[in-house]
Amino acid sequence: MPTLIPAPLRVTAVGNKPKLIHEFVGKATTRTGDVSVAHMNSPGGWEEPGQRPEFKEITLVLAGVLRVEHKGGVLDVRGGQAVICEPGEWVRYSTPEAEGAEYVAICLPAFSPKTVHRDD
């Protein structure tokens, strides 16, 4: 039987500026451990610490630019584009342009503060 998610749960974000995270599926909302799906809105100039997560993260940028720093360089992912970051790969996300970014993040298995392994 299909399960309706009537509303997402607002999750606290990490970073230098307030960022809106609304988790629709995941450990916090549906107690789902195999996948998480969250809608995010990051303001211009937002950045978070680097991380080396244990999960695969697929990010679909709806609008704006999401910058993804990695050991090999930098990717600017624009509205209408997506990026896949593999487990164990060091990445750092930011929104360098004034309009910020709107995007959807899908993590396999689900996002967890215990498995994201952020830099100090």
For residues 21-46, give the mean pLDDT: 97
Better-predicted residue by pLDDT, 120 or 98: 98
Q: Let me know: does 105 contact 30? Beta carbons within 8 Å.
A: no
Q: What is the pLDDT of residue 61?
A: 98
Pick the CATH number of 9-116 from 2.60.120.10, 1.10.10.10, 3.40.50.10490, 3.40.50.300: 2.60.120.10
For residues 70-99, give the mean pLDDT: 98
**DSSP conformation letters of 74-109:** EEEEETT-EEEE-TT--EEEEE-STT-EEEEEEEES
Least confident piece of the model among 12-21, 63-72, 88-97: 12-21
Q: What is the pLDDT of residue 59?
A: 98
Cα distance between residue 16 and residue 110, in whole Å: 24
For the chain, give every domain's residue range: 9-116
